[in-house]
Amino acid sequence: MHKAESRTVSPAKGLHGEIVVPGDKSISHRAIMFASLAQGESRIRGLLRGEDCLSTLAAFKSLGIDVVEKADDELIIHGRGLEGLQEPTDVVDCGNSGTTMRLMSGILAAQPFFSVLTGDQYLRKRPMGRVINPLAGMGAKILGRDDNTKAPFAIDGGGLHPTEYHSPIASAQVKSALLLAGMQIEGTTTVYEPHLSRDHSERMLRSFGADLESFSGGVRVTGRVNLQGCDVEVPGDISSAAYFLVAGLIVPDSELLLKNVGVNPTRSGIIDILQQMGGSIELTNQRELSGEPVADLLVKSSHLHGIDIGGSLIPRAIDEFPVVSVAAAYATGVTTIRDAKELRVKETDRIAAMCETLGTLGADIEPREDGMQIVGGKALSGGRVNSFGDHRIAMSMAIAALASVTEIEIKDTACTETSFPGFWNLLTLISKDA
C-alpha cells in the first residue's frame, strides 16, 4: 500500500528537451507472462519496472519461474513451457494491476492446480466478472466475492474446452485471458469483438510461436502449440508519452521530442485525437521493434479546438482520456467524449474523477453516462485536487498545472509509481526555464 503524499506543480514558461518514457506497460506484462509459458530462455529489454509489472513478475516467480535480473530494464526469464508452472504455496497478490489479474485468470484456469488471486483495495473493487464469466463458459471453476465478480477469487484449474465468445465490449484483457486459456487446451478458441482492442497479445504470441489467426471482427487461437523463448524489445509506452504530448501542446513556447515510443495503431488513438484537435505532432524515425511499430514524436505548442470523440477511437485511447480531458479544457470550443462507459470501471470512475478535479479548477465540464462534455478555453485557476489513488488522474492533473494560472496541489501522488516511475523527475527536467 502506498503512503499518501501530495505534490504541488507550478505553471511552466515553456517546455523543451528530449524525453525517453519508460517501457510500455501492456507489452511488459505480456513479455513476462509469455516468456514464462515458453520453453527455454527469453531476454526482455526495456521492461517497465513499475509496480504493476513487478506484480506480474512476482506472480510468476511464485509459480516456479526463474528470473535473472541483468539490469534496471533487462530480464532473462527461464520459461517452463505450458505444463511447467507449479502450484503456488500462497495467495497470488496482483497489487493494483487489473492486467495481471485478468490475464492470469486465463492462464491459471487451464492449469491443473489450485490458486487464489487477490489485489489491493482498489483492485478488489474492480469488475472481474467480464473475464470470469466467459472462462466459466469454457468450463473453468472459479469462485469469488460478490457472485463471482470480485477478487479475491479461487481457481480450481483444468478441464477446459474451447469456446466461441462474442465479447460485448472491446477489451484486450478479456480477449487475452480467453486466448491464453484456449492456447493451453486442444482445439480452437475464437473471440469476437465489437471494435478491435489493442493487439499486443496477438503480435507477441506469434513471435513466441503461437498458432493465431486475426480476422475482421476477431481472433482465433489453436491450442497446444508449444511456445519457444525469444528476445523482446519493449518500446516506450504511448500512455506515458501522452502526458508529455499534451504538455507540449498546451504550454506556450514548447517543443519536445519523445524518443522510441510505441505507435501500435490499436493504441495510437491519442495521436489521432490530438492531431484532430489541431495539435502539431510529427512522427519521425518510424521503424519496427519486436513486431511493434515505433517512432520518435515531435510535439510543438498549438492552438487546440474541441472535437467529438467516440466509436472505434475509444478503445484505441481508453487509458488516455484523463489527459485528453485536460487538453479539451485548454482547447477552444466544445469537446464531447462518448461511447466511453468503460472509464467508469478503471482504477477509479475516471469520468466522475476528472469532472470533479477539473471542475474544482474552474473548467466547464459535465459528466455523461458514457463520457463527458467539456467547454474549453477558460483559464484553469489552480487549487487543490485529489487523485483518488489513480495514477492517470494524478499525472493528468500535473499536466493541467503546467498551463494553469496558479499552482495546483495534488493529493495522493505516490500511485504514479504503478505505471510511470520517474514521472516527477522528468516533469521537473523539462519545466526548468531555458
What is the grid cell recorded at 383? 487549487
**Residue 221 · residue 183 · CB < 8 Å:** yes
What is the grid cell recorded at 59? 506472480
Q: What's the CA gap between 390 and 321, in Å, rounded?
A: 13
Q: What is the pLDDT of residues 147-164, one digit of tens each?
A: 999 999 999 999 999 999
pLDDT given at position 368? 95
Q: What is the pLDDT of residues 297-327, one digit of tens each?
A: 999 999 999 999 999 999 999 999 999 999 9
Q: Which residues of 140-164 are buried (b: 16+ CB within 10 A; e: fewer)?
A: bebebeeeebbbbbebebbebebbe
Q: What's the CA gap between 373 and 267, in Å, rounded?
A: 23
Domain annotation for the chain: domains and CATH numbers: 7-23+235-431 (3.65.10.10), 25-233 (3.65.10.10)
Write the CB contacts of 145 (distance below 8 Å, at least 6 apart in sequence): 124, 151, 152, 153
253 is catalytic: no
pLDDT given at position 99? 96
Report the residue count for the chain.
434
pLDDT given at position 434? 42
pLDDT given at position 4? 65
Q: Which residues of the chain have pLDDT under 50?
A: 1, 434
- Of 319, 364, 370, 412, the active-site residue reads 319
pLDDT given at position 55? 97
**Residue 131 · residue 174 · CB < 8 Å:** yes
pLDDT given at position 186? 97
**Residue 387 · residue 399 · CB < 8 Å:** no
Q: What's the CA gap between 125 and 146, in Å, rounded?
A: 10
- Residue 64, number of CB atoms within 10 A of its CB: 13
How many helices and strands in the chain, by DSSP H and E? 13, 23
Q: What is the pLDDT of residues 250-287, one digit of tens each?
A: 999 999 999 999 999 999 999 999 999 999 999 999 99
